[in-house]
Structure 1
Amino acid sequence: MNLKELSAHLGLSPTTVSRALNGYPEVSEKTRQRVQKAATEQGYSPNARAQGLATGRARAIGHVLPMSTQHEMVNPIFGDFVLGAGAAYARKGYEVVISLVDDTGEEAAYRAIKARGNVDGIIVHGPHMNDPRIALLRELQLPFVVHGRASFVTEPYSWLDTNNQRAFRRATDFLLDLGHRRIGLVNGLEFMDFAHRRRAGYTEALVARGLAPDPALMRSEEMTETYGYASARDMLDGPAPPTAFLAASMIVAIGVRRAIQDRGMTLGRDVSVITHDDDLSYLRNSVDVPIFTATRSSVQKAGTRAAHMLLSLIDNPDQPPLTHLLEAELIIGSSTGPAPS
């Protein structure tokens, strides 16, 4: 059913029906509810291009991914985020536009996006500590929400983030309570804000127990399985190996587990592992009893929440920046146990 047919069914003008579906204030609440009810019952799906012409909006949200030698965002985590965000966009008649750009040409890409007018807002992924995209998007007056934070950016902006520092402090405290004193950190790239905060939580927990952080037990690199394996292998083969690891993601944790098993050791008995981001659609942490103890924060739910925030900014551009901090759960699995004697 198209807009003209829905209008005839309701006995209203196409303009009134369009305005009711798009939330215009001059349409009464009674009429809006009647139109929305009929649209649902009749299976009406608005044409995004036609809506854009009527409202002056592109009815699309942009996600810009830099292409480089370090693809911190091109992994299952991004896929789950877009899955959650996409569902929220679809309910409001918006589409997703994904742009891949050279990481040395991001400014030109954002300026081109603004000039084309093919998106109404942007989700910024993988913020660095001092991220220039925030000031650029403010200059362009393009609504945006940052998935994460940029610690060195002082002006207000909209963001949604997980409390990475608290999550990794809590995970480190959990291992310390089990008697572990040498805990390896297999972190992400630490020029990225989330990884910087995770190291801060890890070191805070150690210092609070009177333990000096050991640089030999810390790694920072792109989060891949081979990186997790190589980091754990090197630490386990060292003169004073760790009895536990904190892994930055499920992908890294799988590599850490492989290194442990290659050395004939048992996960959770000889060496403990805690991972982050275990609630992924295509990389489940088991179904009944979790394989890994984990600091869990749903990336898909984060995508949905960030999308709602951005759509609100688009609809109400004069409101102040929106922020939301998610807390991670500590999920106990079979990958952790008391420190071996």
Structure 2
Amino acid sequence: MNLKELASRLGLSPTTVSRALNGYAEVNEATRERVMAEAKRHNYRPNTRAIRLATGRAFAVGHVIPVATRHEIVNPIFADFIAGAGETYSRNDYDMLLSVVPDDQEEETYRALKSKGNVDGVIVHAPRMNDPRIALLHKIDMPFVVHGRATGAALPYSWLDVNNRRAFQRATEFLLDLGHRRIGLVNGLEFMDFAIRRRTGYVDALTARGLTPEPALMASDEMTEISGYRAARKMLMLPAPPTALLCASMISGMGARRAVQDMGLVMGRDVSVIIHDDDLSYMKNGDDVPLFTATRSSVREAGRLAAEMLLELIANPSLGPREKLLEAELIMGQSTGPAPV
């Protein structure tokens, strides 16, 4: 079936059907739904090349990844986010353009994507405080959604984030309720916005109980197994070691568990450990009973939702900034218990 035949069945002009299929705002929602339903019923798929020529749209979304040696994007969690976003793109006949570039060419890459018309919008990863990419993307008029938030950004922007401050506040409160008073934080890199918010939640929970946060019980590094191991081991060798550790990811938590075991201690009895679990499809937190007590939020679902937000902004440029804050669950596992006497 071609476009003319589909339009004839619907009693509409080919132009109206084409615009309905391609998300033009001037087509009312009832007509759009009727066209989409009929197209699906007859397995009609528009000619993507022709649509691109007619609309000037690329039907592609960009992800620009800087090659930084000390950068959270090296974490394999990124793969699950991309997988979730990819599901949304595929469902909407969009392609994904992944650009891995040297750090000093990131701005140039965004400008090139815009000038060449290679993508209709981008998702911004790993936001930092006062992130300069937000002002740049506004300036070049590129639709975008930020995965996370950028504290200090002067311009409005669309974002999707997990409530990192609340998640780590709640986890710290849980450990305090178990009687722990010396709690270590094994955090991510703290020029990253999410890590700043997690530290804030941890500090807020301690100070609310009259405890003074100690620099010796706080570490900031890449979320790798070896970094988690080194940070946890250093804390556990203190004259007054922590009885609990709060880790920024499952991967760093695995390093903390190894450090606990190397010290001849038992996780969950001598030292409690809480991780942040991104509910990864390829790295599960145990089977029926979680290995780690965790603050859990699916990064794959975040990818799906962020992609949906961006496609909405591309289809309807008049939409204002969109914001979505996801809450993390606190999942009970085998890695926590009362503070040792």
User: TM-score over 0.5 for the alignment?
Assistant: yes
* Residue 10 of structure 1, CA deviation: 7.2
* Residue 45 of structure 1, CA deviation: 3.6
3-state SS, counterpart of residue 197 of structure 1? helix
Distance 1:26 1:153, change over 3 A: closer
User: Hey, what does 2:318 align to over in structure 1?
Assistant: 318
- TM-score, normalised to structure 1, is 0.93
Is the CA contact 1:76–1:280 (under 8 Å) kept in the aligned structure 2?
Answer: no
- TM-score, normalised to structure 2, is 0.93
Is the CA contact 2:75–2:223 (under 8 Å) kept in the aligned structure 1?
Answer: no
Is the CA contact 1:261–1:267 (under 8 Å) kept in the aligned structure 2?
Answer: yes
Distance 1:339 1:276, change over 3 A: same
Is the CA contact 2:217–2:242 (under 8 Å) kept in the aligned structure 1?
Answer: yes
Distance 1:52 1:276, change over 3 A: same
Where does the alignment leave 5 or more consecutive residues of structure 2 unmatched?
Answer: none
1:212 corresponds to which letter in structure 2? Answer: T
* Residue 108 of structure 1, CA deviation: 1.0
Distance (whole Å) between structure 2 residues aligned to residue 323 and residue 129 of structure 1: 17
Is the CA contact 1:10–1:35 (under 8 Å) kept in the aligned structure 2?
Answer: yes
Measured on the aligned residues, the alpha-carbon RMSD in Å equals 2.1
3-state SS, counterpart of residue 138 of structure 1? helix
Tell me the matched-pair count: 341
1:63 corresponds to which letter in structure 2? Answer: H
User: Hey, what does 1:229 align to over in structure 2?
Assistant: 229
1:172 corresponds to which letter in structure 2? Answer: T
* Residue 158 of structure 1, CA deviation: 1.1
Alignment of 1:121-160 (within 5 A): 121-160=121-160
Q: Percent identity?
A: 67
Is the CA contact 1:235–1:242 (under 8 Å) kept in the aligned structure 2?
Answer: yes
Is the CA contact 2:269–2:338 (under 8 Å) kept in the aligned structure 1?
Answer: yes
Alignment of 1:180-329 (within 5 A): 180-329=180-329
User: Hey, what does 1:67 align to over in structure 2?
Assistant: 67
Is the CA contact 1:277–1:299 (under 8 Å) kept in the aligned structure 2?
Answer: no
Is the CA contact 2:236–2:242 (under 8 Å) kept in the aligned structure 1?
Answer: yes
Distance (whole Å) between structure 1 residues aligned to residue 48 and residue 331 of structure 2: 41
Is the CA contact 2:24–2:315 (under 8 Å) kept in the aligned structure 1?
Answer: no
User: Hey, what does 1:19 align to over in structure 2?
Assistant: 19
Distance (whole Å) between structure 1 residues aligned to residue 31 and residue 208 of structure 2: 61
* Residue 28 of structure 1, CA deviation: 7.1
Alignment of 1:14-53 (within 5 A): 15-24=15-24, 32-53=32-53
Deviations 1:17-45 (A, max 9, x none): 43332244666767644543343234334
23-32 or 223-232: which moved more?
23-32
Is the CA contact 2:190–2:196 (under 8 Å) kept in the aligned structure 1?
Answer: yes
Alignment of 1:168-187 (within 5 A): 168-187=168-187
Deviations 1:125-156 (A, max 9, x none): 00111110000000001011111111111321
Distance (whole Å) between structure 1 residues aligned to residue 277 and residue 55 of structure 2: 39
Distance (whole Å) between structure 1 residues aligned to residue 143 and residue 247 of structure 2: 34
16-25 or 63-72: which moved more?
16-25
Distance (whole Å) between structure 2 residues aligned to residue 17 and residue 138 of structure 1: 32
3-state SS, counterpart of residue 108 of structure 1? helix
Distance (whole Å) between structure 2 residues aligned to residue 245 and residue 4 of structure 1: 64
Distance (whole Å) between structure 1 residues aligned to residue 31 and residue 198 of structure 2: 51
User: Hey, what does 1:55 align to over in structure 2?
Assistant: 55
